[in-house]
Amino acid sequence: MPNGFQGYYLNKADGTKLDVGPTNIVHDPEQRDFAVINGLSCMGCHDAGIKKPGKPDEVRNSIVNDHAVDLAVRDAVKALYPEKAKIEEVLNQDLHHFEGAMSSAGSTSR
């Protein structure tokens, strides 16, 4: 968000709001039923800001380097999946922005 804090919203592909996320896609280990409650669970998990991926992206290299895949698809994947250095840069900038907002508000991330 412009102030450096983060906003969370769960929705279906068509934009319809989800009050609870499907546990086969996302889960909250703090909830007995592992259900992600829109907004609340997100803030609990992301209290220190954006989380970096736990494992490297496999989509970009797999598709971009496969010349059997149509060029238009490869170009679309390049646009959707930045190179590792670029995504790291973006994530680090976002984290810095979030930490600055937390500090300005008199709080710190853990």
Residue 108: pLDDT over 70? no
Cβ-proximal residues to 93 (8 Å cutoff; 6+ apart), any chain: none
Question: What pLDDT, in 10s, does the model give residues 85-96?
Answer: 998 999 999 999
C-alpha torsion sign, points 16, 5, 105, 30: positive
- What tokens appear for 82 in the block? 């930045």
Residue 109: pLDDT over 70? no
d(CA 42, CA 28): 8
Residue 110: pLDDT over 60? no
d(CA 100, CA 8): 19
pLDDT reported for residue 52: 84
pTM over 0.75: no
d(CA 9, CA 6): 10
At position 33, the amino acid (one-letter code) is: D
Question: What pLDDT, in 10s, does the model give residues 10-66?
Answer: 999 999 999 999 999 889 999 999 999 998 898 888 888 888 888 888 899 999 999
Question: Across the chain, which distance is largest between two alpha carbons, in Å?
Answer: 54
